[in-house]
Amino acid sequence: MSATLLTPVATPRRVRRLGAWCLAGGLLGAAEGVITLAWPHQVTEERFSYPFDAFWFVIAELSYAAQHLMLIAGALALLRLPIVSATRAARIATRVALAGLILLVVAELSALALYDAATDSALATVIASSFMLPVLLIGVGFTVAGVALIRQGAAGRAGVQWLPAAVLAPGIYVFTVFIPLINQSDFIARLGIGGWMLLFAVLGYGLTRLEDHDV
């Protein structure tokens, strides 16, 4: 397969449009966290669907999956940037993060099977564990891509000085904040997820602000 097929040619409008989807997805993810925390407890914590009943759990999971799809747009936008595609490490690492985001959608959809499951059931344990691989892929992918962009000197390039930090942040966050908080109380874990989503919103916003000569 040719390099052209692997790395689509960027167009400013397309990159900004993909960035807008990522921005919206990040903001939606943060809002979902707030809504979940404020949601009245319809079931006990022994149910995997907590705090939702079966019906609202299905709605919530579909919403989470749709929101993760929007984040995929951010990774696709990065792959269309010459400054990313020109560096093998950044290009491969971004594809790893993209794979993680896709698998995260799959994990959310698989969780639909747990609408009436107990938290400690075998199925719940298996599906809950399936979220870790996507999260790690996203963390490693964005971390390596961000470091590669820094080493490439992107932080000193006019118009994209912000890009290495915006790519690196959601990657490092996985290991420094997300993973340490995810097994804490539901409130703390939701805050951790919300913070992660806001970093994707920042990345998406930056992509929407790229000028034609930056793409």
Query: Residue 121's pLDDT is what?
Result: 96
DSSP state string for 85-147: HTSHHHHHHHHHHHHHHHHHHHHHHHGGGGTT-BTTSHHHHHHHHTTHHHHHHHHHHHHHHHH
Query: Residue 212's pLDDT is what?
Result: 66
CA–CA separation, 87 vs 56, rounded Å?
Answer: 44
Which of 16, 30, 29 has the alpha carbon at shortest distance from 69?
A: 29
Residuewise pLDDT in 10s, the chain (215 residues)? 444 434 444 568 899 999 999 999 999 999 999 999 999 999 999 999 999 999 999 999 999 999 999 999 999 999 999 999 888 999 999 999 999 999 999 999 999 999 999 999 999 999 999 999 999 999 999 999 999 999 988 766 667 889 999 999 999 999 999 999 998 988 999 999 999 999 999 999 999 998 765 55
Q: What is the pLDDT of residues 31-53, one digit of tens each?
A: 999 999 999 999 999 999 999 99
Q: What is the pLDDT of residues 185-199, one digit of tens each?
A: 889 999 999 999 999
